[in-house]
Amino acid sequence: MNPILSLFLLLTVFFLPSDRLTRKAHKIHQRILTLDTHADAPINMVKDGFDVGERHDRVRDKSQIDFPRMKEGGMDAMFFAVYLAQGPRTPEGHAEAKAKALAIFKSIDAALKKHPDQAELATTPADAYRIEKAGKRAVFIGMENGYPVGEDLAMLKTYFDLGCRYITLAHFANNAICDSATDPDGPLYNGLSDFGKKVVPEMNRLGILIDVSHISDKSFYDVLALSKAPVIASHSNVRALCNFPRNMTDEMIQALAAKGGVIQVNFVTDYLRKPSDEHRQALNSIRMAGVGRVVTPEMRTRLDAKEDSIQKRYAYERASVADIVKHIDYIVRLVGIDHVGIGSDFDGGGGVNGLEDVSEIEALTLELVRKGYSEQDIAKIWGGNLLRVLGQAKVP
């Protein structure tokens, strides 16, 4: 952003009355296309009785996403994540992960067929704009954790054909593709595995974006060296502002941007601002409890209850919308406006004070306006940058 223009915009915003600022933000929010690259809505969609086409209560149902609330909030498009926690790296474990992943794809397809008047599957940038123009929600599909790929390269084509347009290579633990940033046992391959080095070019060939959120630093640099297409971090933040291995260093963000990629800022408090050591240890104990194990529904219920208790205990440390914009500001100053976006992690731990679910996302647009961002800049942050990169995902 031009420094003189930036100063002018900041002074203009500073002297705008609050109601005028709100009206300005609302008009911008209505005009632009908004896209969120990481939403864990399928976690609820596979539950008996949950209908994403009906409005739900966040407190009662502990859900943050449904089509009516997307419409209320002005959320035009979201990547619904086919998420699988890391389990055993065995033929049996991989087979079970594939079966569960296919069931999640099926649940998304069923929801879209049930509510064709509310939402539609999107696989290209053009789809997003067409569906938004029709007044419906555009649902893209991403996969969080390459665990369901197993060691079978052909599964990438299977998932692509079902609509998958990015894959987060790993999650909280190492898998057959690469090392995770947070595996308690440390690195397994010191980066990408031999199989992972085949996965990257195949994803380029098919047109599946490579998502580097959750993977180790060495895995990240291995991916950049191999990929012919830009890569994304679908839900990651700035390590300089919040020192956590899931976040990215300045050097990583610069390397990502140099390749034409984008980092999508997420809404998880412990990736936005540094929690107390006691808080972080408590959260990590939950996140790692199921690593390498089969998590039963009963175990998941116990872990969810424990996490809810921890979040209530440390509510005073919770992040705000201003914290989200702090990370956006940092990235813009570091690499420019063309390399940042939004990946909320709603229904997967995302949510801050003042921005609790998808119906409230205009609060972020308002904060961006308050900070002096132009409509053009906000349009890039809210989806333009990501859609540009999606259009470059396929490399022969």
Instruction: Give pLDDT tens digits for 13-70.
Output: 555 568 999 999 999 999 999 999 999 999 999 999 999 999 999 999 889 999 999 9
With a cut of 80, say whether residue 283 has pLDDT above it: no
CATH superfamily of domain region 3-273+319-390: Metal-dependent hydrolases (3.20.20.140)
Task: Name the helix (H) or strand (E) containing 140.
Answer: strand 137-144
Whether 274 contacts 327, CB under 8 Å: no
With a cut of 90, say whether residue 284 has pLDDT above it: no
Nearest to 166 by CA among 212, 206, 208, 127: 208
Q: Coil, strand or helix: which one is 231?
A: coil
With a cut of 70, say whether residue 391 has pLDDT above it: yes
Q: What is the pLDDT of residue 114?
A: 98
pLDDT digits (tens, 9 = 90+) for 181-216: 999 999 999 999 999 999 999 999 999 999 999 999
**Tokens 């998590």 identify what position?**
295
Q: What is the pTM of this model?
A: 0.88
Largest pairwise CA distance in the chain: 63
Dihedral over Cα of 331, 335, 341, 344: its sign:
negative
φ, ψ at 291 (rounded to 5°): -65, 125
Q: Which amino acid is at 390?
A: L
Q: How many residues does the chain have?
A: 396
CA distances (Å), 62 to each of 93, 190, 346, 366, in order?
Answer: 29, 38, 11, 25
Nearest 10 degrees: CA dihedral of 318, 322, 324, 330? -130
CB atoms closer than 10 angstroms to residue 170: 29
Task: Name the helix (H) or strand (E) containing 232.
Answer: strand 232-233
Spatial distance between the Cα atoms of 381 and 274, rounded to a whole number of angstroms: 24
pLDDT digits (tens, 9 = 90+) for 164-186: 999 999 999 999 999 999 999 99
Q: What is the pLDDT of residue 286?
A: 67
Q: What is the pLDDT of residue 17?
A: 63
Domain boundaries, the chain: 3-273+319-390, 283-316
Both tokens of 81, joined, read 């994540």
What's the per-residue H, E or C state across 39-82? ECCHHHHCCCCCCCCCCCCHHHHCCCCCHHHHHHHCCCEEEEEE
**Tokens 């894959």 identify what position?**
167
- Beta pairing partners, 238: 248
Task: Name the helix (H) or strand (E) containing 358.
Answer: none
Give percent helix, percent strand, percent coil of the chain, each to the nearest 5. 50, 15, 40
Spatial distance between the Cα atoms of 117 and 207, rounded to a whole number of angstroms: 28
| Model confidence band, residue 298 (pLDDT cutoffs 50, 70, 90) | confident
**Tokens 């300005």 identify what position?**
24
Nearest to 341 by CA among 210, 214, 236: 236
